[in-house]
Amino acid sequence: MGALNTLPQAKTNYAAEPDDFHWHGWSAQETQWRIERLLGRYVECIDDDALEQWPDFFVADQCRYEIITRENTERGMPLALMLCTSHGMLIDRVVSLRQANIYPQRWFRHVLSNVVIHEVSADTLNVHSNYVVFQTRRNGQTDIFSAGKYVDRIVMADGALKFAEKRVLVDTHRVDTLLVTPL
Amino acid sequence: MGALNTLPQAKTNYAAEPDDFHWHGWSAQETQWRIERLLGRYVECIDDDALEQWPDFFVADQCRYEIITRENTERGMPLALMLCTSHGMLIDRVVSLRQANIYPQRWFRHVLSNVVIHEVSADTLNVHSNYVVFQTRRNGQTDIFSAGKYVDRIVMADGALKFAEKRVLVDTHRVDTLLVTPL
Amino acid sequence: MGALNTLPQAKTNYAAEPDDFHWHGWSAQETQWRIERLLGRYVECIDDDALEQWPDFFVADQCRYEIITRENTERGMPLALMLCTSHGMLIDRVVSLRQANIYPQRWFRHVLSNVVIHEVSADTLNVHSNYVVFQTRRNGQTDIFSAGKYVDRIVMADGALKFAEKRVLVDTHRVDTLLVTPL
C-alpha cells in the first residue's frame, strides 16, 4: 500500500498475456466493464460539477486520495499536492472548494483511457489508467489542464465498487489550480 | 424530449452501483459494448471524412442532431449552433459542406471516452460520453478544436442501433468553424 | 498487406451493424476486450518508458512497424518516418534511443479510443484506433505531441495476441522528434 517509491514498470510484464482471473464471481471481462463504468461515472461527476457526490466514490473507512507529481513519485519523494486520508477530509475538501470559489469559472472535461487491471487479490484490484483533463475558460478557449495517470486500489464495499485508494500521478505541474480541484 | 433546461446532475446519482439491466435481449455489458462500437464507427466516419455516410447513423424518421454550447444549456437557452430535425437536413448539411468548402483543409481526430448509459427504457438508451476533437492544419500543427459531451438517445431501428437524437454540448466556443462541421 | 494507397473509407460501411463474428473461439465482444487490453498495455509500456519491452508486443517473424504521415498515406506515397521490418530492427531502435538520448527529458501520455475491429480473417484482425500523445517537458508544461490513427494487423502467436503490423498514421508533423520515439 502506498509504495510511493516503487515504479510500476519494475514489476510489470507489459506484453504478457492477460490473466483470465475471476473476482467476486465476475470474469475478467465483466470486471473490466464494471471498473470502466465506475471510472466513467467518477469522471462525469467531476465534469458535471456534482462534487458533493465525489466522496461517495470512496470507501467510508480509511480511504486515501492523493495528487502527486510524477517527478516526485519517480524520485521517491512522497510530497503530495493534495492528500486526503479519510472520508471526512474528502467532504471538507468539497466544502472548502465551494466556499473559497475565488477562481474564475471554468469547465473541466476528462478523457480517460487505457484502463488496465494489473493486480488482483481477494480484496483488491490494482488498476491503472491514463487521463487528460481539458479546461474551458469563460472566453470559450479550451486548453490542457492536466495529464497523468490514475493508480487506483478498488474494493467491494457494501455491494458496490469503491476506491480504497486513488493516487493521481500528474505529469503536468500547475500547482496553483491543482491545489483546489479534484482530478 | 429535448429537455434543454434540465441538467444531467439534477437527477443523477453518480456513485450508485450500475444497474444490471437487459435491453433487447442483451445484458448491460453487451449493450455497453455495442454502444461503444456504434460511437467508435460514428467517430471514425467523421475523422475519415466519409461524411456522406454520416446521416446513416441516424434514424430515418424524426431524428434530431444539435450542437449547442454548454453555457446555453446550463442557462436553459435552447439556441443551437447547428440544428437538424430530419434526415433530409442531415444530408443537406453534408451537401452544403462539400459545395461550400471554403475553409482551409484540415483533419479531425476524435477521442471519445466515459461512455455511460444513464437511462434505459424499452425503446431508448440515454447515453453520455466525453469527446475531444483535435484538428491538424496543413502545416502539420495539431490543436484542440472542440471539447464537450455527447448526450445521445439511441434506439433500435430495423435491427441496427441508430441515433434518435444526438446533442453535442460543446465547452469550446469556436462559432466560425463549428457552424459547418459535424462533431 | 501494406496497401498504402488504399484509404479505409473506400471499403468501409461505417454505419453498418457490427458483425457478430467469432475468432479463435472468442465472441466479438470478448475479442474486443482482449484487443483493448493489448492496446492498453502497449501504450502503458511506452508511457512508463519501459521501451525494452516494446518489441515484445510484435511477432518474432516478419513484423512491420511503421510511422507514416496521413498526408503521404492519402497520396499513396509510402515514405515512412520510421520503418522497422523485423524484430531485430525494433530492438535496435530501442538501443539507439537509449544510447542517443540527446533530447531533453520528457514524459509521454497516450490517450487511445475508438478501437474498431474492421476485418476478421482466420489469422488476422484488422483494427483501427485513434490516439493522441501528450508530452510534458521538464518545466511541467503539457502539450500535444502527436495525434493520429493506429492501423493494426493483430494475430495470435504462441497463445498471445501480437502485432503482425502496426502502422501509425500521424496527422501531426513533428519530424524532428518523431524520428526517434515509438508511438
Q: What is the DSSP string of B124-154?
A: EEEEEEEEEEEEEETTS-EEEEEEEEEEEEE
- Contacts of C among chains (3+ CB pairs under 8 A): A, B
For residue B129, the distance in angstroms to the closest alpha carbon of chain A comes to 9
B56 CB neighbours in chain C (<8 A) are 14-15
Please list the residues that pair with B127 across neighbouring strands. Answer: B117, B152
Measured CA to CA, the distance from residue A111 to residue A109 in angstroms comes to 7
Q: Do A12 and C107 touch (CB under 8 A)?
A: no
H helices present in C1-131, as ranges: 28-47, 70-75, 87-99
Residue A84 confidence class, pLDDT cut points 50, 70, 90: very high
What is the chain A residue with the closest CA to C43? Answer: A114
Cα Rg of chain B (Å, integer): 16
Is the predicted pLDDT of residue B165 greater than 70, yes or no?
yes
What is the chain A residue with the closest CA to C112? Answer: A113
CA distances from A155 to A78, A120, B59, B78, B128 (A): 24, 10, 41, 42, 25
What ipTM was predicted for this assembly?
A: 0.89
Residue B1 confidence class, pLDDT cut points 50, 70, 90: very low
> What angle in degrees, to the nearest 10, is found between the helix axes of A28-47 and C28-47?
60
Q: Do A44 and B114 touch (CB under 8 A)?
A: yes
Residue A5 confidence class, pLDDT cut points 50, 70, 90: very low
Please give the model's pTM, rounded to 2 decimal places.
Answer: 0.91
> What angle in degrees, to the nearest 10, is found between the helix axes of C28-47 and B28-47?
60
Is the predicted pLDDT of residue B151 greater than 80, yes or no?
yes
Given this model, what pLDDT does residue B175 score?
A: 60
User: Which of A3-7, A38-42, A155-159, C108-112 is least confident?
Assistant: A3-7
Residue B4 confidence class, pLDDT cut points 50, 70, 90: very low
Q: What is the DSSP string of B62-125?
A: S-EEEEEEHHHHHHT----SEEE-SHHHHHHHHHHHHHT--SPPEEEEEEEEEEEEEEE-SSEE
The amino acid present at A122, given as its one-letter code, is A
Give the pLDDT mean for B72-97. 89
Adjacency order of strands within the sheet including A142-157: A82-84, A64-69, A160-170, A142-157, A124-137, A106-120
Please state the separation of Cα B75 from the chain's center in Å.
21
Q: Cell numbers 501531426 label which residue?
A: C172
| Residue A29 near residue C33 (C-beta atoms within 8 A) | yes
User: Which of A145-154, B3-12, C83-92, C124-133 is least confident?
Assistant: B3-12
What does the DSSP 8-state code read for residue A105? P
Give the pLDDT mean for C18-41. 91
